[in-house]
Structure 1
């Protein structure tokens, strides 16, 4: 067990909190990667968890990489560049692959700055909402680096190529309203309302049939990186499965009987 990640299950929703507030919740350390990966895999494998909220302790969502650990021989950087490459692949690059494979929906509640890899971590989530205190920056260029954790793939798919290029090439910071305007987040709320708003959304997701929610998420994720014809083929296969679930039968019965459904699966 580790205290780098806090977990609290509130009904069908698991709240996962990055818990290194004194360092602004960096995610580049292998210990944090391991702890976050373990929490997410556990949530994905737990039937009672219908949605996950990811947030940060303290005033920051995540500062991304720990700049104090970027000297040779520290953090991800090895004396030998070939080993640095391996450190990235076995370390922080596990996170975008993991989040891409998760079936449980993940909502980022961005409570403060999400900088560099912290911005990319938010982009790995399915839904992003921000407090008025949130800030976003694809700021790798500011420290002479490139997005090493998948940001070059994630960000253009969310805000479009031009805006992603502007963010990555300037390294400038967006405030919450700017993030909302470019579609980086879907809503902005008062800081004191962030968790309750996130819980409202997560509970709305959790109230729907679990298998339909998870398959819908997979379909949306797969559609990101495939053709229309492949997406339609996968949709047909998933729909064939969805038609056989008890929750689909219950939803149809409840509709015809004019009552609220009671989902079982």
Structure 2
């Protein structure tokens, strides 16, 4: 039976092995408010503790993924004379506090899918890049809009974006702040697939359901190793690989897969096998 956990500006829908986190502030195009940040921290803790969840979808309500930082909140802070609220150090602390949940989001043991319909601007684009896959609607628009506000890209984008699109393309997107459609996003490599707006939600759920059939432990370790592969030398990565394989090949999932192979049975997880009904 499906379960819904309501937070302050969002909700987590859990249906079997798939959880879907929905931004529910469409009047602001789902801006990244301080409240939504706290919702993320609570949601990630929930998903990390519930081992029945095998895939997570991030998405937005009302035709927008996330419009970026809460500009009204920024204006209020800039008018506040309290240095605990409005100072370089206060800004640094707020951003470092965001990584209290952004880092665990990136390191979740389960695959994370950003289903982007409409705008993903500034921090919203950065947030989508923390996912393992971005599925976009045909009307999705991405922009590293920080330059328009005289700000530096944040939410980890200075790390994630150049590793996906290359340094030259990252400079283009970050220094211009220009808008990028779904097709260009796919050409640059950060959009995995494009769907019609009405088809995006079911397509994201079907994609998540398929990923959820895979090996939880092996997928988790593969994610962790890949996330460190650009900063790790070859010898160290080979050592990590050996330790991870030692764990993976002693899991029940591997034992069952090996038994099926020995019997000539098809694997339980076969991405190329059409889904039932296709």
* Pair 251,75 (structure 1): closer, same or farther in 2 beyond 3 Å: farther
- Aligned pair 1:48/2:55, yes or no? no
Structure 2 Cα separation of the partners of residues 151 and 58 of structure 1: 25
Query: In the alignment, is the contact (CA less than 8 A) between 2:107 and 2:223 conserved in 1?
Result: no
Aligned counterpart in structure 1 of residue 8 of structure 2, from 3, 13, 36: 3
Other structure's SS at 1:107 match: strand
Structure 1 Cα separation of the partners of residues 28 and 128 of structure 2: 18
1:68-115, CA deviations, whole angstroms, 9 ceiling, x for partnerless residues? 22226269993322222212222x333432223322211111111100
Structure 2 Cα separation of the partners of residues 253 and 33 of structure 1: 45
Q: Which residue of 2 aligns with 1:23?
A: 28
1:108-161, CA deviations, whole angstroms, 9 ceiling, x for partnerless residues? 111111000000000011111101011000010011111132211111111111
Q: Which residue of 2 aligns with 1:80?
A: 87
Q: Which residue of 1 aligns with 2:218?
A: 212
Using structure 2 for the length normalisation, give the TM-score: 0.88
Aligned counterpart in structure 2 of residue 97 of structure 1, from 96, 100, 103: 103
1:205-224, CA deviations, whole angstroms, 9 ceiling, x for partnerless residues? 11112212212222222224
Q: Which residue of 2 aligns with 1:251?
A: 257
Please state how far the C-alpha of 1:261 moved relative to its aligned partner: 5.3
Structure 1 Cα separation of the partners of residues 77 and 114 of structure 2: 32
Q: Which stretch has the larger CA shift, 75-84 or 95-104?
A: 75-84
Aligned counterpart in structure 2 of residue 13 of structure 1, from 11, 18, 37: 18
Q: Which stretch has the larger CA shift, 253-262 or 114-123?
A: 253-262
- Aligned pair 1:198/2:199, yes or no? no
Please state how far the C-alpha of 1:171 moved relative to its aligned partner: 0.5
**Uncovered stretches (5+) of structure 2, i.e. residues with no partner:** 1-5, 270-278
* Pair 225,103 (structure 1): closer, same or farther in 2 beyond 3 Å: farther
**Uncovered stretches (5+) of structure 1, i.e. residues with no partner:** none
The correspondence of residues 218-257 of structure 1 with structure 2, limited to 5 A, is 218-257=224-263
- Aligned pair 1:179/2:185, yes or no? yes
Q: Which residue of 1 aligns with 2:274?
A: none
Query: In the alignment, is the contact (CA less than 8 A) between 2:23 and 2:60 conserved in 1?
Result: yes
Q: Which residue of 2 aligns with 1:113?
A: 119
Query: In the alignment, is the contact (CA less than 8 A) between 1:69 and 1:75 conserved in 2?
Result: no
Structure 1 Cα separation of the partners of residues 233 and 10 of structure 2: 37
Q: Which residue of 1 aligns with 2:273?
A: none
- Aligned pair 1:35/2:42, yes or no? no
Other structure's SS at 1:212 match: helix
Superposition RMSD on alpha carbons, in Å? 2.0
- Aligned pair 1:123/2:129, yes or no? yes
Using structure 1 for the length normalisation, give the TM-score: 0.92
Other structure's SS at 1:55 match: strand
- Find runs of 4+ consecutive structure 1 residues off by over 4 angstroms: 74-77, 260-263
